[in-house]
Amino acid sequence: MLLNLLGCREIINDLQGYYLSSLSHIIIINISLYLNRMKKIVFIVGGAGYIGSHMAKHAVLAGYDVVVLDNLSTGHKDAVKYGKFELCDIKDKTKLDALFKKYQPDAVMHFSAYSIVSESVVDPYKYYDNNVSGTLNLLKTMLDNHCNNVIFSSTAAVFGNPEYVPIDEEHIKKPINPYGRSKLMVEQILEDFSQAYNLKYLVFRYFNAAGHDVDGELSERHDPETHLLPLIMQAARGNRKNIAIFGTDYDTKDGTCIRDYIHVDDLCVAHLSGLNVFFNEGKEVHSNNFNLGNGSGFSVKEVISKVKELTNKDFTVVERERRSGDPAVLIASNIKASKILNFTPNKSKIEDIIKSLI
Ligand code: UFG
């Protein structure tokens, strides 16, 4: 029990394995199991990546016992500053199964996906293999191990070119790239699994995640980096010679694509509300899907000039052809998340998001 009060879960686990013959130890173990179950265990799959590593921090600070699972294909081990780390690929059913048996998680947050729109156009197999097959494997392992709560990271890319903005949850889903299709397939799988196997799910469709945690402990580190804001920041710091605008002939106010940028911390807070739905609320709001954005859009040109203004740095901007797979405008309606999850973004201004990067 003392070990538990000290939070030594690993030691308790070892005790469970080695000392079952002694009655006194069995009592200790039973009490420890009881105390352990008071703290919910959450698997953060893909927790070494940008959004997952921020999520692990938020979840640990909120009092969850976090285990990060990641194959480190795009994530970084040193980004796992909160929770335990287990090297695991979601396609490896044997390893997944062992980890579910070892920790018996109460919920899974699934961030483990390839997510670069342009890459998905040239290498769709990679996207369907990991994002769909891998997820299917993860969900099957969850069900096999009686873990029925999952929060799935989906994307604005499931909507394709919007027929209206802001995009609400009812908007038709017609993705225009394999990445968006891979995420929509998983959304449909979740719906079917929920009907058939009583899986409880929440789908969060992120618009453009951006920014860093306020302490500057974590960061966005993609290799290669393809996202607009980190690339503009590199240009502002003098670490790249220019920033390219991909397409200036879109049907938008200045011809460049418009996106709804949402701070990563705000996304994480929405996920914590999601865990509350599973663990604390009587309301039947699962299984459900939510669009997560700020409800306002900024063009590529506007973002570039805001960064120039806030950093007081000038840098070269070049105009290039359109990038394949890019919709012209993506802006979220967050009314449903606000009503049901009390979702209120804290860093809703583009200035706040950029400032967190400076
Ligand atoms: N862009 C440029 N120059 C660059 C990089 C990007 O002009 O050097 C443009 C893109 O063409 C796009 C906009 O900036 O119009 C935003 O591009 P990002 O690469 O930052 O983000 P995406 O909108 O392509 O995609 C991101 C995530 C996806 C998610 C999507 C949801 O990477 O996983 O947001 O809105 F689906």
Q: What is the CATH number of the domain that holds 139?
A: 3.40.50.720
Q: What is the pLDDT of residue 9?
A: 46
Query: Could you tell me if 29 and 46 lie in one domain?
Result: no
Q: State the virtual CA torsion across 7, 8, 10, 13 in degrees, nearest 10.
A: -90
Query: Could you tell me if 55 and 175 lie in one domain?
Result: yes
Q: Which mutation among 171, 208, 319 tests ligand 1's pocket best, with the greatest number of atoms within 8 A of CB?
A: 208
Q: Answer whether residue 275 shows pLDDT above 80.
A: yes
Phi-psi region of 10 (alpha: psi -120 to 50; beta: other; left: phi over 0): alpha
Q: Residue 228 Cα, ligand 1 centroid: separation in angstroms?
A: 6
What confidence category does residue 76 fall into, taking pLDDT thresholds of 50, 70 and 90? Answer: very high
Q: Answer whether residue 13 shows pLDDT above 70.
A: no
Express as a percent the part of the chain with pLDDT over 70: 89
Residue 191 lies in a domain: yes
Q: Which carries the bigger pLDDT value, residue 219 or residue 143?
A: 143
> How many domains are contained in the chain?
2
Residue 357 lies in a domain: no
Query: Could you tell me if 52 and 142 lie in one domain?
Result: yes
The terminus-to-terminus CA distance of the chain in angstroms comes to 46
Residue 320 lies in a domain: no
Domain that includes residue 21, residue range: 2-35
Query: Could you tell me if 82 and 160 lie in one domain?
Result: yes
Query: Could you tell me if 23 and 70 lie in one domain?
Result: no
Does the CB atom of residue 330 touch ligand 1 within 6 A?
yes
Query: Could you tell me if 93 and 204 lie in one domain?
Result: yes
Q: Answer whether residue 181 shows pLDDT above 60.
A: yes
Q: Residue 225 Cα, ligand 1 centroid: separation in angstroms?
A: 11
Residue 18 lies in a domain: yes
Query: Could you tell me if 147 and 287 lie in one domain?
Result: yes
Closest-CA residue, ligand 1 atom 3, reads 245
Q: Answer whether residue 212 shows pLDDT above 80.
A: yes
Q: What average pLDDT score do residues 51-55 get?
A: 98
Q: Which carries the bigger pLDDT value, residue 31 or residue 159?
A: 159
Neighbour-count burial for 179-194, b at 16+ CB within 10 Å, e otherwise: bbbbbbbbbebbeebb
Distance CA 326, CA 237 (A): 27
Write down the pTM of the prediction. 0.89
Q: Residue 62 Cα, ligand 1 centroid: separation in angstroms?
A: 31
What's the pLDDT tens digit per position in 214-254? 898 998 888 889 999 999 999 999 999 999 999 999 999 99
What's the pLDDT tens digit per position in 296-344? 999 999 999 999 999 999 999 999 999 988 899 999 999 999 999 999 9
Query: Could you tell me if 155 and 286 lie in one domain?
Result: yes
Q: What is the pLDDT of residue 282?
A: 57
Closest-CA residue, ligand 1 atom 5, reads 228
Residue 325 lies in a domain: no
Query: Could you tell me if 109 and 30 lie in one domain?
Result: no
Query: Could you tell me if 285 and 164 lie in one domain?
Result: yes
Does the CB atom of residue 227 touch ligand 1 within 6 A?
yes
Does the CB atom of residue 208 touch ligand 1 within 6 A?
yes
Q: Residue 118 corresponds to which amino acid?
A: S
Q: What is the pLDDT of residue 2?
A: 38
Residue 312 lies in a domain: no
Summary mean pLDDT of the chain: 90
Q: Residue 288 Cα, ligand 1 centroid: separation in angstroms?
A: 26
Which residues, at least 6 apart from 123, have a Cβ–Cβ distance to it below 8 Å?
none
**Of the residues 82, 179, 201, 206, which is catalytic?**
179
Q: Is there a catalytic annotation at residue 50?
A: no
What confidence category does residue 281 fall into, taking pLDDT thresholds of 50, 70 and 90? Answer: low
